Amino acid sequence: MNFEQRQLVVPGTLLAEGKYEAGFNVYRDADKYFASIVGLADLRNDLVSVIPLRGCYLPQPGDIVIGKVIECIPTAWMLDIRSPYQGVLFASEFLSKPLNPMREEARKYLDVGEMVIASVIAFDRTRNPSLSCRDHNLGKIQRGTVIDVDATRVPRIIGKKGSMIGMLKKESNTQIMVGQNGRVWISGKTRDEEAYVAAAVRKIADEAHTSGLTDRIREYLVSNRR
């Protein structure tokens, strides 16, 4: 193997030689394996893959993320945060009381499939990022709609000094939280209300490179307001 786990590689990078298998975004020439895209090299059970960077979220301390529980362990939860790394949410960073794994299970408070809004409190690429729900407005999502967009579009959805997200909230009268990992939570009075705001968010993501976008989104919201 010619790379460290999660090392950044470019097309044509020699990743491995010998008895391996080619995974996603990897091509084989004889017994050599090469990257076909820019991304993060990964090896799992002799399967060599490259995780694409586009839309790939790399955690940073202080980021707000929206994660989905994929595993419950005795005193923590593992979360999918749309990243090569899984988020770890310890019970001490979620509950207001200690969790005794001998008396109760973690899934009593947060089960597989449920979603939380959390902050990244520690990450150094050598281990999974640690998350916390201690701050205001963080915690388990009890209602609303969650959608996924390309993580690279998050700055445009938020806008300069929060201008775009502020306009979205004002014109739709909904609650909106944008995770740096490309997940957006929308909570309105009805599902229809959430659906048309979700459509507006997707429109921003799709047209992020165009000019006059803020005015077009405002017009869209006003014309579709229910």
Residues 82 and 46 both lie in one domain: no
> Stretch 8-15: mean pLDDT, rounded?
92
Domain-embedded: residue 103: yes
* Residues 152 and 167 both lie in one domain: yes
142-170 pLDDT, tens digit per residue, is: 999 999 998 888 989 999 889 999 999 99
Residue 2: inside a domain: no
Return the exposure string of 164-195: e unless at least 16 CB atoms fall within 10 Å of the residue's CB, then b: bbebbeebbebebbbbbbbbbbbbbeeeebbb
User: pLDDT, tens digit, for every residue of 46-61?
Assistant: 889 887 766 678 899 9
Contact 116, 89 (CB under 8 A): yes
Residue 204 has pLDDT above 70, yes or no: yes
Q: Answer whether 68's CB lies under 8 Å from 79's CB.
A: yes
- pLDDT of 126: 78
The pTM for the full model equals 0.76
**CATH number for the domain that contains residue 215:** 3.30.1370.10
Q: Are residues 73 and 18 in the same domain?
A: no
Is residue 132 domain-shared with residue 153, that is, in the same domain? no
Please tell me whether residues 98 and 149 are part of one structural domain. Answer: no
User: What are the tens digits of pLDDT across the range 75-134?
Assistant: 999 999 998 889 999 999 999 888 888 889 999 999 999 999 999 999 987 789 999 999
φ, ψ dihedrals at 197, nearest 5°: -70, -40
Domain of residue 39, residue span: 8-52
Give the dihedral sign, CA 215/216/218/219.
positive
- Confidence band, pLDDT 50/70/90 cuts, at residue 226: low
Say if residue 207 is in the same domain as residue 167: yes
**pLDDT single digits (tens) 181-199:** 999 999 999 999 999 999 9
pLDDT digits (tens, 9 = 90+) for 28-41: 999 999 999 888 88
Confidence of residue 44 (pLDDT cuts 50, 70, 90): confident
pLDDT confidence of residue 54 = 67
The number of domains in the chain is 3
Compute how many other C-beta atoms are within 10 angstroms of the C-beta atom of residue 52: 12
Give the pLDDT confidence score for residue 53 in this predicted structure.
67
